[in-house]
Amino acid sequence: MSSPKPQNTPLDDPLDLTLRPKTWDDYVGQDKVKQNVRIIIEAANQRQDPSVEHILFYGGPGLGKTTLSHLVAQEIGANIKITSGPAIERAGDLAAILTNLEEGDILFCDEIHRLSRTVEEYLYPALEDFKLNLILGKGPMARTMELNVPRFTLIGATTRLAAVSSPLRSRFGAIFGLNFYEIDDIKKILARSARLLNVIIDDEALTILAKSSRLTPRFANHLLKRVRDFAQVQNQSNITAEIARFALTSLEIDGQGLNESDRRILQTIIDKFHGGPVGLQALAAATAEEEETILEVHEPHLLRLGFISRTPKGRMATRLAYEHLGYHTPKGLGL
Ligand code: ADP
């Protein structure tokens, strides 16, 4: 059996750890999700049930799925063990993880859509009956061994709900989607982060950063940190609107939060594919971006801004995209 893979250290960077909200009040926005999650927890507490229903969070990277999972663990006073879909390669890995859990623990599995189908098959009885049926040996000598696993709660996170198999999806008692944030919520998150980083920032600068933040907390925090560095290098104690604008221009992030890669994707659709439609594979090859990165990071932002549309034949650049890039809009382009 291979060594257990859960890690107690989260898989993300130190900035995320410093700024990660530790209380429900610090977790800004996503009110509906927060409310429903808290009802599930309260109901389990009332039943004096050591494990809560298994929960699945989906939404783009940096929207707060991991943070929310930590808050759930905190609220029910459970330990949280962290793993990810790609880290559980074989049934043995899963067995090692599950048998090392304690009663009532939360197992957080990031990128759960990347679990292999074989591992998924082993996981189902563990989720339903807290049992693991391992097959030992091969061929006619093979035999099954049933292991009891502690009652635990699985919290899955995925950036791609559609890639989670439906049998796995059906094992979750609750599935919640996280949305992009409102500008005001991002401003609140930035203001809190600025306090934690000991940075003084003007309200106008906060608005500028929030507008360029892809309405995603992780991205907003990263921008704040970059802008703080600019202010520091320029010996400025406060982040003003002027510094924020200067930093964003230097980072090649425009007023809609588009970075160089977003613009390259749009330009490629327009220049190389005459505005589209273009399939994901062709677009990835032409822009030298990973298909997954286009799907999870760039496309949601471009769709939200109305710069691309998705048709059965592929992605198309919209009139807004031509205008944003300063291109001449071709005749007959609808939107
Ligand atoms: P995900 O798991 O969806 O990729 P995380 O939970 O790791 O996202 O969030 C990334 C960072 O963004 C966190 O460390 C935290 O600083 C910030 N963050 C996310 N959601 C919120 C929120 N609702 N309120 C305040 N900060 C947030």
Catalytic status, residue 66: yes
Answer for the pair 208, 242: CB distance below 8 angstroms, yes or no. Answer: no
Distance 152 CA to ligand 1 centre (A): 24
pLDDT of residue 17: 78
Q: Is 177 in the pocket of ligand 1 (CB under 6 A)?
A: no
Exactly one of 171, 218, 228, 263 is catalytic; name it. Answer: 218
187 lies in the same domain as 171: no
CATH number of the domain within which 311 lies: 1.10.10.10
Sequence-distant (≥ 6) Cβ neighbours of residue 273 within 8 angstroms: 282, 283, 286
Q: Is 307 in the pocket of ligand 1 (CB under 6 A)?
A: no
Q: Is 64 in the pocket of ligand 1 (CB under 6 A)?
A: yes
Catalytic status, residue 158: no
Q: Is 217 in the pocket of ligand 1 (CB under 6 A)?
A: yes
Reported as a single tens digit per residue, the pLDDT across 193-217 is: 999 999 999 999 999 999 999 999 9
Is 85 a domain residue? Answer: yes
Q: Is 297 in the pocket of ligand 1 (CB under 6 A)?
A: no
Is 146 a domain residue? Answer: yes
173 lies in the same domain as 198: no
pLDDT of 143 higher than 80: yes
Phi, psi (degrees; rounded to nearest 5) at 253? -105, 125
Average confidence score pLDDT of the chain: 91
pLDDT of residue 141: 84
- Domain range spanning residue 162? 14-177
315 lies in the same domain as 232: no
- Mean pLDDT, range 154-158, rounded to an integer: 97
pLDDT of 7 higher than 50: no
118 lies in the same domain as 38: yes
C-alpha neighbours within 13 Å on the C-beta side of residue 178: 28
- The candidate with the shortest Cα–Cα distance to 124, out of 92, 160, 170, is 170
DSSP labels, 8-66: SS-SS-HHHHHH---STTTS-S-HHHHHHHHHHHHHHHHTT-SSPPPEEEE-STTSSHH
Is 152 a domain residue? Answer: yes
pLDDT band with cut points at 50, 70 and 90 for residue 272: very high
56 lies in the same domain as 154: yes
- Mean pLDDT, range 269-276, rounded to an integer: 95
3-state secondary structure of 153: strand
For a pocket test of ligand 1, which of 12, 67, 108 has the largest count of ligand atoms closer than 8 A to its C-beta? 67
244 lies in the same domain as 267: no
Catalytic status, residue 218: yes
214 lies in the same domain as 121: no
For residue 110, give the ligand 1 atom closest to its CA. Answer: 2
- What DSSP designation does 55 have? E
Look at ligand 1, atom 15, and give the residue with the nearest C-alpha: 20
Least confident of 13-22, 101-110, 235-244: 13-22
Q: Which of 121, 146, 177 is the last residue of a domain?
A: 177
Domain count, the chain: 3
Q: Is 218 in the pocket of ligand 1 (CB under 6 A)?
A: yes
pLDDT band with cut points at 50, 70 and 90 for residue 327: very high
Distance 137 CA to ligand 1 centre (A): 44
Task: Locate the DSSP E strands across 170-209.
Answer: 174-177, 200-201
Catalytic status, residue 5: no
Is 330 a domain residue? Answer: no
* pTM, entire model: 0.90
Is 334 a domain residue? Answer: no
Residue 117 structure tokens: 């189908």
173 lies in the same domain as 189: no
- Mean pLDDT, range 84-110, rounded to an integer: 94
111 lies in the same domain as 23: yes
Is 235 a domain residue? Answer: yes
For residue 60, give the ligand 1 atom closest to its CA. Answer: 3
Catalytic status, residue 34: no
* End-to-end Cα distance, the chain: 57
- Mean pLDDT, range 125-139, rounded to an integer: 90
143 lies in the same domain as 270: no
Q: Is 20 in the pocket of ligand 1 (CB under 6 A)?
A: yes
pLDDT of residue 1: 41
Query: Partners of 134 in the beta sheet?
Result: 145
26 lies in the same domain as 143: yes
Phi, psi (degrees; rounded to nearest 5) at 105? -65, 160
Reported as a single tens digit per residue, the pLDDT across 282-321 is: 999 999 999 999 999 999 999 999 999 999 999 999 999 9
- Mean pLDDT, range 21-27, rounded to an integer: 93
Q: Is 12 in the pocket of ligand 1 (CB under 6 A)?
A: yes
CATH number of the domain within which 192 lies: 1.10.8.60
Exactly one of 5, 20, 67, 110 is catalytic; name it. Answer: 110
Is 255 a domain residue? Answer: no
For residue 218, give the ligand 1 atom closest to its CA. Answer: 12
